[in-house]
Amino acid sequence: MRIFVTGGAGFIGSALVRHLLENTQYEVLNFDKLTYAGTLTTVERVAQSNRYRFVQGDICDADAVRAAIAEFKPDVITHLAAESHVDRSIDGPGAFVQTNVVGTYTMLAEARAYWLSLDEAARERFRFHHISTDEVYGSLGETGLFTEETPYDPRSPYSASKAGSDHLVSAWGHTFGLPVLITNCSNNYGPYHFPEKLIPLMIVKALAGAALPVYGKGDQVRDWLFVEDHVRALHAVFERGEPGRTYNVGGNNEKQNLEVVKTVCAILDRLRPRADGQSYATQITYVADRPGHDKRYAIDATRIKDELGWEPTETFETGIEKTVAWYLDNQDWWQAIVAEHSADQRRGLSV
């Protein structure tokens, strides 16, 4: 098969590109604008493959998308390109509407035109797979889980823009018969995570001897999913999922943010003890909360387990250990990014 991946230079997209090239015989086209969040160093280890191609392009640029699709002739489009950081969506929501809503519309329009041009067998085979977030469902109280039937209730400019893109994808399936699939997943973590996101940010700041900024009381709950488990789920969905269907993907790993930060500190204490013998946890500092910060997200991933046989293989304990070790072993990768993009700077205070 020929898989067209948008956003393949980012965190999850690059994990998918690496997974497909290392575990299948598929051809992969990585279509990415290389915004601040995208770097080709994430796919360096597979870039020599003769089954891999890269096109630098913007998903909002219909001509560029059309040309890349026409040349590559994909069987599947997996659409991951997006603006993805909630804090940045508070400072500059316009880019989120543009990329996530207008960009997804452009991808759908071009995918549909291409799909209509295919012969019947190829049209049957074609899939448009949209990758989205559990944040579209809003915020949970102490109990309950998001299912695929939970009504949408996005609260941040980021989640609102993703909800808008999900609705467009669903509409293209219902109205035009385009064979679409949507996955909504929980918070990912793992190697090559851009160091503005919670887990890598804490590792970077801890090693720099800086304060570890915990938003509010740190009592927000997220369901953590190891990125390599996520890309196996994506692979199962575009290969075997039923067109028109949504699948929730979660890690069965609910943790409070403070617990996550303390776990990172404990692993660093063991793997890279501080010279003064103190714990990295002494660097924890409570800072102003994110405006509109959702309290709790948690996923019911029964459907993807029952229908496609997918389950996460990593517990939070095994996944976080691998992640911290990876950041210790790959300091060159993130130091360059932190220096170039001030990735460790606080954003999203709405002032």
Q: Which of residues 183-212 bind ligand NAD (CB under 6 A)?
A: 185, 187-188, 194
CB-based contact 145:300 (threshold 8 Å): yes
Of 9, 136, 261, 343, the residue at the interface with ligand NAD (CB under 6 A) is: 9
Binding of residue 35 to ligand NAD (CB under 6 A): yes
Query: Residue 140 and residue 118: Cα distance in Å, rounded?
Result: 43
CB 51 within 8 A of CB 43: no
19 binds ligand NAD per the rule CB under 6 A:
no
b vs e for 138-164, b when ≥16 Cβ sit within 10 Å of the residue's Cβ? bbbeeeebbebebeeebbbbbbbbbbb
Under the criterion CB under 6 A, does residue 133 sit at the interface with ligand NAD?
yes
What one-letter code names the amino acid at 291? P
Nearest to 297 by CA among 155, 181, 196: 155
> Of all residues in this chain, which one has the CB nearest to ligand NAD in the complex?
10
Which member of 3, 18, 32, 246 binds ligand NAD (CB under 6 A)?
32
Binding flags for ligand NAD, 235-274, as an x/- string (CB under 6 A): ----------------------------------------
DSSP-derived 3-state class of residue 250: coil
d(CA 142, CA 292): 17
Which parts of 103-132 interact with ligand NAD (CB under 6 A)?
103, 131-132
Span interacting with ligand NAD, options 54-62, 140-148, 203-211, 314-322, rule CB under 6 A: 54-62
- Under rule CB under 6 A, residue 304 binds ligand NAD: no
CA distance 184 to 17: 19
Among residues 134, 228, 254, 300, which one is catalytic? 134
Which sign, positive or negative, has the C-alpha torsion 192, 194, 198, 200?
positive
259 is a catalytic site residue: no
Which parts of 315-344 interact with ligand NAD (CB under 6 A)?
A: none
- Residue 55: other Cβ atoms inside 10 A: 16
158 is catalytic: yes
Q: How far is the CB of 190 from ligand NAD (least distance, A)?
A: 10
Please answer whether residues 343 and 210 qualify as being in contact, where contact means their C-beta atoms are separated by less than 8 angstroms. Answer: no
Residue 71 falls in the annotated catalytic set: no
For the annotated catalytic residues, the residue numbers are: 134-135, 158
Residues in the site for ligand NAD, rule: CB under 6 A?
6-7, 9-13, 32-35, 37-38, 58-60, 80-82, 84, 99, 103, 131-133, 162, 185, 187-188, 194
